[in-house]
Structure 1
């Protein structure tokens, strides 16, 4: 059995064992930990080679198995083996990196790029940028840093805050109630209230290039650093996150079966949910990630080819610009320079070829549906072996 086939078996068994555990079924694991760790490190070595082909100064991480490290402008960038093959080219990553420095709340910088931003070497037009930061639960200093980032009108003319969300509440720019919200957060932190466990989310509009203006989000998640995996699992996924670190601290462990199985099952449920809503673009992106993490590169390559078709690319660009325009309009400044640029860009997009777009989405639907059927059949076969 090749390494790819062996890893594929591990990923499916991890998903299967997660489901059995959730059903309260006792079983003996069929996934030897030492063998899996070795396999992750072998794939990290392949990731290093892949990144070097792009021109990055890369090495295999000695701190945690499964990561390649990039030395980048005085920072360490931790790249999981699950995304390295599709990591953005240096010219694309430079824009993502610069925005990360602008948006980061933590000092020193410890910020993750998640979602489609880490797959920029493979597929579709970038419609948004999602970042994620972990902070030590009940750390009051973090709130002060958040205030510094969220309460300014703009950051270096390229980043405009639009919304702050915390504990079920959403404030819109100009955040008239921000002081009361931050004081509430400080009080709950001081009392170690369960309300302090909620995530912060700040929505921005950012300009990452002269002709690229898009929604930018930073999700701030409280964790316990001495129990990292337990408190972070289910809130975000290490397998689709790239850490930009100013002090070289390692990210989360990639070699726990429960985390891998949970991620695979989450992707499977996400694909089904978006298909049911007829959101074929989102379903296809999730299916791409599912194929990627289970090493079905034949499927991910086919999906990437469909997503790169001109009608779908144009559709993605238009949707992203419309969302960006909506966010900028919420700030109530019709003379905003970024808003005018977005409106100009929208006026230049020609009418989408509807027949080509429908054909592309039908191909996505058929391919994703077939992939899910194969996935479910394989999972049932493994489940029967326990």
Structure 2
């Protein structure tokens, strides 16, 4: 995490019949570096419009509505106003000169009546200390993905948001898992460096007494967040995870090999080659990446009286002696396998090697549930 300030993100809602007038409002946002969503630019052919609009509003800090005689009769405008209100976003109405006041029930909200007032609003938004977009190095991944990074009050996280925002979540009954047992392919040019990195980590673990072992883990090959047949009428999305096998040595070793070959800040072309950066930023598409991700479980224990349980990490793991409120562990294809009928664990939950089948140790185990 970096101690830069969070960025404003504006959802601009308007009728297509007002596009020429609204272009001037958008230009003002661009001139002051304020990120914003606008459907002609940000919704591509074949994309789910409703989901895209919902996600944009969830990300937004402000919803700016250009209110005119045309937008008063535009169902999409009022849908976006309702979404913003329901999510407690700041609604800012910009009134067309043909309108004298806001309609009920929004007549008590702040509204803007002229270009000068709107320009002051944008300057205020751009200059607010807690809302300024960080300055990322030109040509960096952060610069390329600036609109998809996760921001919080006072900072940002060096991670690309794949889908969702804030408290978007899926309950167990709306999560499906598909498993493809095809093994991960190692880029040939990184294979030797990967083996060297693993050998170094083994030696370091032996000297320091840390835990370092291979494991039959799981990687994300792709995902879908959309309604399925039985919920399509209600437009209730279901999360479908497309998973595949990965060993910890492959995951850890490939990352080390990549850093050894290209350093910590390789050019964008390298990321495009190995992780298809453009598709990752644009669509959250991880399917063609040659470097593996890994799926883990992260659990925070909360007491009945509302306290978080913290623990101090031991010397046997990474970042020893630091405090953490999360219990995290990589998903293990064998130890975390479940009965497809009941969802209960079906394999012996033991860290001892004796008694485990060979395919649980060599990484070839295919989960049943």
What range is the shorter-chain TM-score in?
Answer: under 0.3
Which of these two proteins has the greater Rg computed from alpha carbons? 2
- Say which structure, 1 or 2, has more relative contact order (CA 8 Å, 6+ apart): 1
TM-score (norm. length: structure 1): 0.24
